Amino acid sequence: MTAAVIALGANLGDAKAALQGAVDALAATAGITVLACSQVFETDPVGGPEQPVYVNAVVLVDTALEPLALLGRANEIEQEWHRTREVRWGPRTLDVDIIDIDGAVIDTERLTVPHPRAHLRGFVLVPWLAVDPNAMLHGRAVHDLIADVDVSGVRALDPAVSLQVPA
Question: Could you list the active site residues?
Answer: 83, 92, 95, 97
Secondary structure (DSSP) of 61-115: EEE-S-HHHHHHHHHHHHHHTT---SSTT---S-EEEEEEETT--EE-SS-EES-
Question: Which residue, among 81, 79, 78, 122, has the nearest Cα to 96 in the 3D structure?
Answer: 78
CB 102 within 8 A of CB 83: no
| Number of Cβ within a 10 Å radius of residue 95 | 21
